[in-house]
Structure 1
Amino acid sequence: MSILFFLFLISKSGLKAQSNFTPLNEDYSNLIERYEIKSGSLSSLHTNIKPVRRKDLVKLTTELESDEKANLSKTDLFNLAYLQNDSWEWLENEKLPQSDSKKPLWTHLFRKKSDFYSTQNKDIDFHVSPIFQFTFAQDNLAKETPYTNTRGIEVRGTLNKKLGFYSMLTENQIVYPEYIREYGRAYNANPYEGFTKIPNADSSKYLADFFSARGYITFQAIKSVQIQFGHDKNFIGSGIRSMILSDFSAPYLHLKVTTNVGRFQYMNLFAQMINKQIPLAADGTEQLPPKYFSLHHLSVNIGRNLNIGIFESIIFGKRQVGFDINYLNPVIFLRFAEGHLGSVDNSIAGLNFKYNFKRHFSLYGQFVLDEFNVKYFKQDGWWAKKYAAQIGGRYIDVFGIKNLDFQTEYNLVRPYMYSHNSTYSNYVNYNLPLAHPLGANFTELLLIGRYQPTKRLFLNFTTMLTQQGKDSNIINWGGDILRNYNFARPFDYGNEIGQGRTINTKFYQFGASYMIAHNLFADLKVQNRNINLSGDADDKKNMIFSVGLRWNTSQRQFLF
């Protein structure tokens, strides 16, 4: 049914030019947030929904260049030119020459700074870029030397100015640092990736060998409605974390409908995810069963500075007919549809906000509610008082120092949040949390400083302090969202954040990146991670040094 609906929309597609999306990574997101703050006014991007369209980002950056009140530094102008050159197909004719390479290779290669090969005419806009990353590390806790070896290709463009397309393919071999291996063993999955081949996962020969692919098409159904269909990820929020939907889990098949009307943006997301908690047959021939996800998010700009969004989502599975078409309605209240069906699906709702002011500051936050019953919600420590909250802020050009930015963020998640009594309905895709990497039953403080002293040098320092209550093999204290919340729960009342065996994590990271050429970076990173588990006499101290080179790809962030 959803496929028929999708094909109908294609047949009715209008004549508007199509735009695919910017990369979804922390570095790109920080630049977008910084320059929206510098603009002094919330833009039509609605940056709480990421990734954003390349077309919209180029519009923001070109308008900002002519804004005298923005007080842009030479480094800012370099960054704006970088963002524009990365999406040069949306530049006006007079700005196009800035994206040209000074030394094309064999006439047709590297004609543009951002593309290995590109061509553009009235019928097609086509871009091809290689992907490469090699990182070498030292980890005092790992028996084997960690490294990353990634090779791939990225293709994007438009056909007849009506249909946009994107595809990314990579082949990867990674030996992770020890703490990431431990996370992978606990969740039986590797962060961000989904399927991997892991021979001898419990030995020193740990190697994640996997092929990664993402791809989608986009088109404009009518002037105000854009459609995306394919395998990719999404992120909701302006913070480092998202309590609503993050990019931490594996890519998933989805249909996304985004409607922009004036100050309003309405996003509908319909997705098929993977329930890896259902065991395969002994011979491994059975297909992993799907689970389904539907989300509505309404965002509105109030005045020049305040954005407020509300959302609802539902995750479900084990239907004889697959995706329940009752949840395809883009405007209905999903909780009503769920109740009307007599279902026990997992419904989550909440809100997010962002307030930018004085061209230097931004406050943002989220509140997510997983369960609400007036009769019990006021009871002290009721187990189903499940909610998550976030509050954060950014200060750019700190104390007048150009391109020195500071960000702080506090997150908390109640016990049993995101979990369910069915593996088809927990807030999980391919065994990985759809929101925060830590799952539930924790508090977290993040402090990040970013400094760009010269055009091509990027420095950052990150501090993460967390306290989480860990489950035992017997008792479910509400931290592991893969577990059935009715299984081995010790009591119904008196539950509090951090219950169980307390684990305190202190994570410090210094990183430096130098842009050698467009999207070609040399990276240096130092990480110190200390774990204190109640009952243990000594802390577990982890020191990791890494150096690497990457081209047309971002650094993997394992901040947990």
Structure 2
Amino acid sequence: MRLNLTILFGIFLLKTSAQSTYAPLNDEYSHLIERYEIKSGSLLNLHSNIKPVRRKDLIKLSTDLEKDTKIKLSKVDSFNLSYLQNDSWEWLDDEKLTQSNSTRKFLKYFFKKKSDFYNVQNKDIDFHINPIFQLAFGNDNLVESQPTTNTRGIEIRGTINKKLGFYSMFSENQIVYPEYVRQYGRFYSANPYEGFTKITNSDSTKFATDFFSARGYITFQALKSIQIQFGHDKNFIGSGIRSLILSDFSAPYLHLKVTTQIGRFQYVNIFAQMLNKQIPLAVDGTEQMPPKYFSLHHLSLNISKNFNVGLFETVVFGKRPIGFDINYLNPIIFLRFVEGNLGSVDNSIVGADFKYNFKRHFSLYGQLVLDEFNLEHFKRNKWWATKYSTQIGGRYIDMLGIKNLDFQVEYNVVRPYTYSHFSSFSNYVNYNLPLAHPLGANFRETLLVLRYQPIRKLFLNLTSMSAKHGEDFDNLNWGGNILRNYMIARPREYGNEIGQGRLAKIHHLSFGASYMLKHNLFIDFKFQNRNIQYSDEVDATKSKIFSFGIRLNSAQRQLLL
């Protein structure tokens, strides 16, 4: 009898109380959350290093900021806070609720609220429905078939009897990616952020993708301090542009998330079922893609109102006759102990993260991930299994006294073979895409981001990425491709360095401008200049990509690869 996450969900059904669904998980939203947490001068409002955050908590952060007389908010800040509040207006008190009303209703029933196409709210149900739309056209100098995006969909969220929250999103997409993204998709046999996709013309220059995207979950408050989420969705752990612990780069996955928050402590358990795309399916299509599983514990502590530290552990495993191994269900045991007792056949990873906000203008953050570490071998000459990754970053908001000019810098380092495993059921991968950093392993990366909002509805963004990534060549495994078995074709035991193998130097510069025509309706312009130079080639491959588009209730995809 297979024990899956649907059965596990039933174990946690308890008496519920008022709850909240989650705010959108994207770069634009995350930046606003981090910015206003810094301005608040306190980390006690929400543990923002675990994303997405609850809409209820985000409303509390924004309304508390407006009430704080010590904070000087610009007109742009006031606009942004109103935007966040209007986007989750169901959690506003009666005094502020009227601000979310629309002045242009349609047929009395539509657009009653600025953020909703249609909504119903009474004592039994709170219901919101919105269309999703994105249309974009571009130009890539490397290919004949130019980048395009055509997305149509719908988003639904709400609560039933103020007890059970629900969220559902589905969209139909046709996308022609820029050439560098197509190359990434060919290499990994998967497209960033997505699950199953159809390549409609894979042998030509078009390489168009056609896919159906969907997410859906329910939430409920099991106890005063415990919230539970169950469904298909994504998570992001960290305060940076990248996460070396858990990012949203792979496909959505079925999971049960239990969040316990007591005072300054937050404890998160994630039990997930993902997919192993590396196992070949039957030619006649009679086999299903085999599952792999994931269990994570993350403990977050606000040591002071400005300093937060987190500890995490996770294990990835598969090939169990009962499905999810019940040994990993214990939410308060050390997973490495359990994994060792089972014979050390799974992939156990541990680490820590931190964030320090100060002077209402600055933030320092970082992560440390230990995949495998042996002190005796560490003292010797760069053992192959000294596998770890580190991140350090910082933010400076209202830089040099210029209102709404924000700067961010981030440095990421990942040793060769980190996140990989001898079994495809245990590597740190879901649906062939890394669960952490898009580059996998064996690289150094520097990111610089400058964001400026000169007027209320105009958003400017300048991003620079520079990376040195060691790729495999001559059929040898130099530790950059985390899908590969680290026991096969590894060239040496010691002397392994970051960037070994075929060194790729990547420089990616992008400029974006977005203007909000009305709530969540944007027009976008973007220019990207990407160069990649290989150590064994004289000339660099140079990409120049322009794009222009319009989107409604949809976020731009971050494609820094």
TM-score (norm. length: structure 1): 0.99
How much has 1:205 moved relative to structure 2? 3.0
- Are 2:139 and 2:146, in contact at CA under 8 Å, matched by a contact in 1? yes
How much has 1:285 moved relative to structure 2? 2.4
- Are 1:43 and 1:60, in contact at CA under 8 Å, matched by a contact in 2? no
**Structure 1 gap segments, 5+ residues each:** none
> What is the correspondence of 1:362-401 to structure 2 with a 5 Å cutoff?
362-401=363-402
Q: State whether structure 2 residue 140 is matched by structure 1 residue 139.
A: yes
Q: State whether structure 2 residue 208 is matched by structure 1 residue 223.
A: no
Residue 117 (structure 1) aligns with:
118
SS of the equivalent of 1:524 reads: strand
SS of the equivalent of 2:198 reads: coil
- Are 1:13 and 1:219, in contact at CA under 8 Å, matched by a contact in 2? no
**Residues of 2 paired with 1:343 and 1:399: CA distance?**
52
Residue 520 (structure 1) aligns with:
521
How much has 1:9 moved relative to structure 2? 2.7
Letter in 1 for 2:201: N
Residue 15 (structure 2) aligns with:
13
- Are 2:221 and 2:227, in contact at CA under 8 Å, matched by a contact in 1? yes
How much has 1:455 moved relative to structure 2? 0.1
**Residues of 1 paired with 2:10 and 2:122: CA distance?**
26
CA displacement, residues 420-448 of structure 1 (integer Å, 9 cap, x when unaligned): 00000000000000000000000000000
How much has 1:199 moved relative to structure 2? 2.5
How much has 1:4 moved relative to structure 2? 4.0
**Residues of 2 paired with 1:492 and 1:13: CA distance?**
55
Percent identity, aligned pairs only, is: 70
**Residues of 2 paired with 1:544 and 1:143: CA distance?**
12
Letter in 2 for 1:89: E
Letter in 2 for 1:247: D
How much has 1:507 moved relative to structure 2? 0.5
**Residues of 2 paired with 1:8 and 1:380: CA distance?**
49
Letter in 2 for 1:206: F
Q: State whether structure 2 residue 56 is matched by structure 1 residue 55.
A: yes
**Structure 2 gap segments, 5+ residues each:** none
Q: Which moved more, 1:469-478 or 1:147-156?
A: 469-478
Q: State whether structure 2 residue 150 is matched by structure 1 residue 149.
A: yes
How much has 1:479 moved relative to structure 2? 0.2
**Residues of 1 paired with 2:319 and 2:557: CA distance?**
33
Residue 546 (structure 1) aligns with:
547
Residue 127 (structure 1) aligns with:
128
Residue 403 (structure 2) aligns with:
402
**Residues of 1 paired with 2:37 and 2:360: CA distance?**
9
- Are 2:25 and 2:52, in contact at CA under 8 Å, matched by a contact in 1? yes
SS of the equivalent of 1:280 reads: coil
Residue 106 (structure 1) aligns with:
107
Q: 1:4 to 1:205 in 2, by over 3 A?
A: closer
**Residues of 2 paired with 1:188 and 1:522: CA distance?**
31
How much has 1:5 moved relative to structure 2? 4.3
How much has 1:67 moved relative to structure 2? 1.0
Letter in 2 for 1:71: K
> What is the correspondence of 1:417-428 to structure 2 with a 5 Å cutoff?
417-428=418-429
- Are 2:451 and 2:461, in contact at CA under 8 Å, matched by a contact in 1? yes
Residue 361 (structure 1) aligns with:
362
Letter in 1 for 2:416: P
**Residues of 2 paired with 1:282 and 1:437: CA distance?**
30
**Residues of 1 paired with 2:467 and 2:404: CA distance?**
28
CA displacement, residues 367-425 of structure 1 (integer Å, 9 cap, x when unaligned): 00000222212222100000000000000000110000000000000000000000000
- Are 1:530 and 1:540, in contact at CA under 8 Å, matched by a contact in 2? yes
Q: Which moved more, 1:374-383 or 1:24-33?
A: 374-383
- Are 1:406 and 1:448, in contact at CA under 8 Å, matched by a contact in 2? yes
- Are 2:247 and 2:436, in contact at CA under 8 Å, matched by a contact in 1? yes
Residue 508 (structure 1) aligns with:
509
How much has 1:283 moved relative to structure 2? 1.6
Q: State whether structure 2 residue 498 is matched by structure 1 residue 497.
A: yes
CA displacement, residues 476-519 of structure 1 (integer Å, 9 cap, x when unaligned): 10000000001110111000000011110110000000000000
SS of the equivalent of 2:279 reads: coil
Residue 40 (structure 1) aligns with:
41
SS of the equivalent of 2:33 reads: helix
How much has 1:473 moved relative to structure 2? 4.3
- Are 1:229 and 1:255, in contact at CA under 8 Å, matched by a contact in 2? yes
**Residues of 2 paired with 1:400 and 1:167: CA distance?**
42
**Residues of 1 paired with 2:111 and 2:289: CA distance?**
42
How much has 1:145 moved relative to structure 2? 1.4
Q: Which moved more, 1:423-432 or 1:42-51?
A: 42-51
How much has 1:354 moved relative to structure 2? 0.1
**Residues of 1 paired with 2:367 and 2:315: CA distance?**
18
Residue 323 (structure 1) aligns with:
324
**Residues of 2 paired with 1:431 and 1:141: CA distance?**
26
Residue 200 (structure 2) aligns with:
199
- Are 2:260 and 2:267, in contact at CA under 8 Å, matched by a contact in 1? yes
**Residues of 2 paired with 1:473 and 1:98: CA distance?**
63
SS of the equivalent of 1:36 reads: helix
TM-score (norm. length: structure 2): 0.99
**Residues of 2 paired with 1:230 and 1:40: CA distance?**
34
**Residues of 1 paired with 2:410 and 2:279: CA distance?**
36
Letter in 1 for 2:430: N
**Residues of 2 paired with 1:5 and 1:469: CA distance?**
41
Q: 1:137 to 1:126 in 2, by over 3 A?
A: same
**Residues of 2 paired with 1:453 and 1:5: CA distance?**
49
**Residues of 2 paired with 1:25 and 1:202: CA distance?**
32
**Residues of 1 paired with 2:379 and 2:323: CA distance?**
37
- Are 2:45 and 2:60, in contact at CA under 8 Å, matched by a contact in 1? no
**Residues of 2 paired with 1:473 and 1:283: CA distance?**
33
**Residues of 1 paired with 2:43 and 2:51: CA distance?**
15
Compute the RMSD of aligned alpha carbons.
Answer: 0.8
- Are 2:44 and 2:264, in contact at CA under 8 Å, matched by a contact in 1? no
Q: Which moved more, 1:444-453 or 1:201-210?
A: 201-210
**Residues of 1 paired with 2:7 and 2:469: CA distance?**
45
**Residues of 2 paired with 1:450 and 1:314: CA distance?**
36
How much has 1:237 moved relative to structure 2? 0.1
Q: Which moved more, 1:195-204 or 1:215-224?
A: 195-204
> What is the correspondence of 1:464-503 to structure 2 with a 5 Å cutoff?
464-503=465-504
Letter in 1 for 2:305: R
**Residues of 1 paired with 2:71 and 2:191: CA distance?**
42
- Are 1:390 and 1:412, in contact at CA under 8 Å, matched by a contact in 2? yes
